[in-house]
C-alpha cells in the first residue's frame, strides 16, 4: 500500500461508483492499475450492480417460515412482475429463508452481507435491480407463518392459555387469525402497544373536534377518550371485528380457543 495513494482509490470510486473499501481492495490487488481494477470489477458484475441501484423496485415477493419456536419473514424486491415470478428470484429468496431459520438470524445486515454475492449474481442474470428489503423475526412458545399469494405474509407468536404447550394449539386456528391479519391490516396488537406520542396527537385532534360539538364540559374528556379509542380500534388487532365471523372480535375468538397472542408481523409488497 506504500506506492498506492488515496487519490488513486478516490479516482476509481469516481469512475465506478463502487464503495470506497471495495475500490481500495481492488487497487491493492492490481497494484494501483486503475484499468485492470475496472476490468476486474466489471467481471464481478459490481459496476453493473452499482448502476442498477437507481432502478426502482416496485415488485417482489414475501417469504416466511417458522421452525422450533422461531420464525422469519422476508421481503425481496425487483423491478418487474415477470422477474418476481421467475424461478431464479424465488430460489434466491428460499435460500435466504433457509439460512435465516437454520441460524436463527435476527439482523437484516447479517443477511445482506451473507448474500451480497448471490444478489449480484442474480442481478446480472435477470438484468434488474434486486433488493433484500425487509426482514423480521419472532420467537415464542408457538410461532406460525402464513403467506398469501407471495404478496402478503404474516408471522404470529402465541401460546396456549391453559397449559402453554405449543403442540396443543390448533394450527387451523392460527391460520384463521393469520388470514384475518392479511385482510384487516392491523398495526398494533393492543392499545398499550401504540406509541404515546401517536396517542397524544390523536387526543389533540379529537379534543379540537369535540370542542366544536359544544358538549357539556363534564362529559368532554369522556367523549374525547371514546373517540380516540374508536379511532384506534380499527387498527388494533385484538379489537377488530373478526374477519371470518364479524359477530365477535379477535380477542373473543382467541379466548374461545384458549390462546393468547403475544406478537405479530405483517408484510405486504
Examine the pLDDT at 156 and tell me if it is beyond 90: yes
Residue 88 falls inside a structural domain: yes
Domain boundary among the residues 74, 106, 139 is at 139
**Cell numbers 385482510 label which residue?**
183
Nearest to 65 by CA among 7, 12, 136, 123: 136
Cβ–Cβ under 8 Å, residues 258 and 64 = no
Q: Which helix (H) or strand (E) holds 72?
A: strand 70-78
Residue 251 lies in a domain: no
| Total count of residues recorded for the chain | 269
CATH number of the domain at 37, please: 1.10.8.10
pLDDT exceeds cutoff 60 at 47 = no
**What is the CB neighbour count within 10 angstroms for residue 240?**
20
- Eight-state DSSP code of residue 257: T
Q: Tell me how many domains the chain contains.
A: 2
The yes-or-no verdict on residue 48 having pLDDT over 60 is no
The pLDDT > 70 percentage for the chain reads 89
Cell of 11: 479516482
- Please state, in angstroms and rounded to a whole number, the distance separating the CA atoms of residues 65 and 183: 20
Q: Which of 139, 172, 187 is the last residue of a domain?
A: 139
Both 46 and 63 in one domain: the answer is no
216/185: higher pLDDT: 185
Residue 73 lies in a domain: yes
Of 15, 37, 52, which closes a domain?
A: 52
8 A C-beta contact, residue 266 and residue 153: yes
Average pLDDT, whole number, for the chain? 87
CATH number at residue 64: 3.30.479.20
Residues 44 and 72 in one domain: no
Domain membership of residue 248 (yes or no) is no
What long-range pairs does 120-123 form, CB within 8 A, spacing at least 24?
Answer: 120/44, 120/45, 120/46, 120/49, 121/45, 122/88, 122/89, 122/92, 123/45, 123/48, 123/49, 123/52
134 in a structural domain: yes
| Lowest-confidence region among 82-86, 201-205, 240-244 | 201-205
Within this chain, do residues 135 and 82 fall inside the same structural domain, yes or no? yes
Domain assignment present for 30 = yes
Is residue 22 one of the residues assigned to a domain? yes
pLDDT tens, residue by residue, 116-142: 889 888 888 888 889 999 999 998 888
Do 69 and 42 have their domain in common? no
Buried b (16+ CB within 10 A) or exposed e, 133-164: bbbbbbbbbbbbbbbeeeebbbbbbbbbeeee
Judge whether 231 lies within some domain.
no
Q: Give the separation between CA 179 and CA 173, rounded to whole angstroms.
A: 10
Residue 201 main-chain phi, psi, to 5 deg? -60, -40
| Same domain membership, residue 65 and residue 47 | no
What's the number of CA atoms in the CB half-sphere (13 Å) around residue 154?
A: 23
53 and 129 Cβ atoms separated by less than 8 Å: yes
Q: What is the pLDDT of residue 26?
A: 82
CA distance 127 to 120: 10
Q: Are residues 21 and 80 in the same domain?
A: no
- Residue 113's pLDDT band, with cuts at 50, 70 and 90, is very high
* Dist. CA 224–CA 60, nearest whole Å: 42
Residues 85 and 102 in one domain: yes
Q: In this structure, are 81 and 121 located in the same domain?
A: yes
Continuous segment of H or E residues that includes residue 34: helix 34-44
The angle, 0 to 180 degrees and rounded to 10, between the axes of the packed helices 34-44 and 20-29 is 120
Specify the pTM: 0.75
Domain that holds residue 12: 6-52
Neighbours of 82 (CB within 10 A): 12
Report CA Rg, the chain.
25
Amino acid at each position: 500500500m506504500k506506492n498506492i495513494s488515496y487519490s488513486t482509490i478516490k479516482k476509481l470510486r469516481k469512475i465506478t461508483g463502487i464503495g470506497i473499501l471495495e475500490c481500495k481492495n481492488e487497487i491493492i490487488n492490481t497494484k494501483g492499475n486503475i484499468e485492470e481494477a475496472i476490468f476486474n470489477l466489471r467481471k464481478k458484475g459490481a459496476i453493473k450492480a452499482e448502476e442498477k441501484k437507481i432502478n426502482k423496485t416496485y415488485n417482489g415477493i414475501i417469504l416466511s417460515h417458522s421452525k422450533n419456536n422461531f420464525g422469519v419473514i422476508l421481503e425481496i424486491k425487483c423491478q418487474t412482475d415477470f422477474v418476481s415470478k421467475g424461478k431464479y428470484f424465488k430460489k434466491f429468496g428460499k435460500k435466504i429463508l433457509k439460512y435465516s431459520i437454520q441460524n436463527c438470524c435476527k439482523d437484516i445486515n447479517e443477511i445482506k452481507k451473507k448474500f451480497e454475492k448471490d444478489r449480484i449474481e442474480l442481478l446480472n442474470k435477470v438484468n434488474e435491480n434486486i433488493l433484500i428489503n425487509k426482514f423480521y423475526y419472532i420467537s415464542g412458545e408457538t410461532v406460525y407463518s402464513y403467506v398469501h399469494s407471495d404478496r402478503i405474509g404474516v408471522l404470529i407468536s402465541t401460546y396456549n392459555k391453559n397449559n402453554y404447550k405449543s403442540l396443543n394449539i390448533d394450527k387451523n386456528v392460527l391460520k384463521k387469525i393469520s388470514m384475518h391479519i392479511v385482510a384487516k391490516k392491523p398495526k398494533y396488537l393492543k392499545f398499550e402497544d401504540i406509541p404515546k406520542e401517536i396517542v397524544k396527537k390523536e387526543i389533540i385532534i379529537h379534543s379540537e373536534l369535540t370542542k366544536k360539538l359544544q358538549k357539556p364540559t363534564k362529559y368532554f374528556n369522556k367523549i374525547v377518550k371514546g373517540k380516540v379509542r374508536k379511532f384506534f380500534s380499527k387498527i388494533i388487532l385484538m379489537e377488530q371485528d373478526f374477519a371470518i365471523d364479524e359477530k365477535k372480535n379477535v380477542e373473543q375468538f382467541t379466548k374461545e380457543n384458549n390462546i393468547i397472542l403475544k406478537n405479530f408481523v405483517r408484510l405486504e409488497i
